[in-house]
């Protein structure tokens, strides 16, 4: 067996495991060795539970040997951002306040992964309480970008991005409130999918902003993102925000190509103040999609100048509502940047919050009528910049990182980041594709077609 087992995709690994050409024990051991070998430099994990992972791998191997039933993730290690409940394992949320907190039960998404046969090797680093876009954490240290260890990963799902990009796990779960899956996916050169709001249960996941939070997969290929989404998507009767909307077979139409697909390029906002190398990579990706048969159209994006303010007026008060007790009793236990954002939440009045939620309704109606009636997808850069140096992870960098992602949290539509190039410094660039509500299938199909026509996803960081 190749020495590069840790780079196997989910699709590759499961095919080999079912064929008894790769043991779950062998796969898990390879990934744990990888973690041991590079974690001192990457800092992607807060907790590694190697013993539990190996026990689960042995159980999975026994089931295969006995010819038992197996799920779509049988024997595959998938790590969790450290705000997902994993029964009996600490859940710190990247904070000092919850440093000794132990989850009493699995989050719903965790339970679905395990029911599908996944092995959980540990819990991943993140921006404190998922409230930031850089991944610089004052309590557990910054997760470091595998492409350049002096650079940020993006956040808040920083460890998720770093661990997948660095070959420490086959996939990871992240959360996305203003871009926290897609930003690290873009900066780390992997795939990150934010599903439609309500597609995946958030029960057992520590909240940042209830009406903006999304759960989704972070993987090295689009096919793997589809496989993970298939497992975690669907109604959770114990979580009111989830939907009864039918869940299609995401892998079935993955290879349908982009012929005739209408892809909208926004006339304003999404290409303003963008690094030249980022814009060049994204424009080249659009040209390739057009050559592959997609129809590229300029499109209006209604209320786009008002949407970022609406996100802020919802996110900050909702975050403060969750943190109010700790902010009263333990304010000094927060990192400076997170405490500052929570203090800002107190400056918003109820009328501001209500107006922002009303704006959200108007924006959804306008995008449905004026934008998604004309195109199937929207294409933009995921972030206007590449990964900055860790010491530059300030508020201005945060503002830049979230500019092109948070409108799609506000709207609640599915959006994916897929690698589309590298800067002259060897830093990844991401293409963002957003689709209609509940139409993750088309988002995945277009992303997969682009991915398979390029080799960006096959490149590996110099670790």
Q: Are 183 and 383 in contact (CB under 8 A)?
A: yes
Q: Per residue in 38-77, is it b (16+ CB within 10 Å) or e — as a string?
A: bbeebbbbbbbbeebbbebbeebbebbeeeeebbbbbbbb
Q: Is 305 a catalytic residue?
A: no
Q: Are 109 and 101 in contact (CB under 8 A)?
A: no
The neighbouring-strand residues paired with 175 are: 215
Number of CB atoms found within 10 A of residue 325's CB:
8
Q: What length does the chain have?
A: 463
Of 9, 81, 201, 209, which is the active-site residue? 81
Q: Is 156 a catalytic residue?
A: yes
Q: Closest Cα partner for 254 from 13, 443, 10?
A: 443
For 398, the token pair is 């945060």
CA atoms within 13 A on the CB side of 430: 34
SS3 417: strand
Of 163, 180, 417, 423, which is the active-site residue? 180
Q: Is 241 a catalytic residue?
A: no
Residues 6+ apart with CB under 8 A from 312: none
CA 392 to chain centre: 22
Where on the phi/psi map is residue 75: left (φ > 0), alpha (ψ -120 to 50), or beta?
A: left
Quote the CA–CA distance of 216 and 161 in Å, as a whole number: 12
Cα–Cα distances (Å) from 416 to 33, 40, 58, 179, 218, in that order, read 30, 30, 34, 10, 10
Of 9, 23, 95, 156, which is the active-site residue? 156
Number of CB atoms found within 10 A of residue 118's CB:
28
Residues annotated as catalytic (active site), given as ranges: 81, 156, 180
């Amino acid at each position: 067996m190749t020495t590069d087992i840790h780079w196997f995709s989910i699709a590759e690994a499961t095919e080999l495991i079912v064929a008894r050409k790769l043991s779950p024990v062998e796969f898990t051991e390879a990934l744990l060795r990888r973690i041991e070998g590079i974690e001192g430099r990457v800092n992607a994990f807060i907790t590694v539970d190697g013993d539990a992972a190996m026990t689960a791998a042995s159980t999975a191997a026994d089931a295969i040997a006995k010819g038992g039933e197996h799920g779509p993730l049988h024997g595959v290690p998938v790590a969790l951002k450290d705000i997902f409940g994993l029964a009996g394992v600490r859940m710190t949320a990247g904070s000092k306040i919850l440093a000794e907190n132990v989850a009493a039960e699995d989050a719903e998404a965790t339970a679905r992964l395990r029911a599908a046969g996944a092995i959980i090797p540990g819990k991943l680093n993140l921006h404190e309480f998922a409230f930031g876009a850089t991944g610089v954490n004052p309590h557990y240290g910054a997760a470091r970008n595998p492409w350049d260890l002096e650079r940020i990963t993006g956040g808040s799902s920083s460890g998720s991005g770093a661990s997948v990009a660095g070959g420490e796990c086959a996939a990871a779960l992240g959360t996305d409130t203003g871009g926290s899956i897609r930003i690290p996916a873009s900066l780390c050169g992997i795939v990150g999918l934010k599903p439609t709001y309500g597609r995946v249960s958030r029960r057992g996941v520590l909240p940042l902003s209830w009406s903006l939070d999304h759960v989704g997969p972070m993987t090295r290929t689009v096919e793997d993102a589809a496989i993970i989404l298939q497992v975690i998507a669907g109604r959770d009767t114990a979580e009111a925000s989830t939907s009864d909307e039918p869940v299609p077979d995401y892998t079935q139409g993955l290879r349908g190509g982009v012929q005739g697909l209408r892809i909208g390029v926004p006339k304003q906002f999404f290409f303003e103040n963008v690094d030249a190398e980022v814009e060049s990579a994204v424009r080249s990706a659009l040209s390739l999609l057009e050559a592959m048969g997609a129809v590229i159209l300029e499109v209006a994006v209604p209320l786009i100048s008002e949407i970022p303010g609406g996100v802020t007026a919802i996110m900050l008060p909702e975050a403060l509502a969750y943190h109010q007790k700790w902010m009263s009793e333990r304010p000094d236990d927060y990192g400076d940047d997170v405490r500052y954002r929570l203090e800002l939440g107190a400056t918003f009045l109820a009328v501001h919050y209500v107006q922002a939620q009303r704006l959200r309704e108007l924006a959804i109606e306008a995008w449905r009528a004026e934008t998604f009636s004309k195109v199937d997808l929207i294409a933009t850069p995921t972030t206007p910049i590449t990964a900055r140096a860790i010491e530059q992870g300030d508020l201005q960098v945060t503002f830049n990182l979230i500019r092109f992602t948070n409108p799609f949290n506000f709207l609640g539509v599915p959006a994916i980041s897929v690698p589309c190039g590298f800067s002259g410094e060897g830093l990844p660039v991401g293409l963002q594709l957003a689709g209609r509500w509940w139409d993750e299938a088309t988002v995945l199909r277009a992303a997969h077609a682009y991915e398979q026509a390029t080799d960006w996803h096959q490149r590996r960081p110099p670790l």
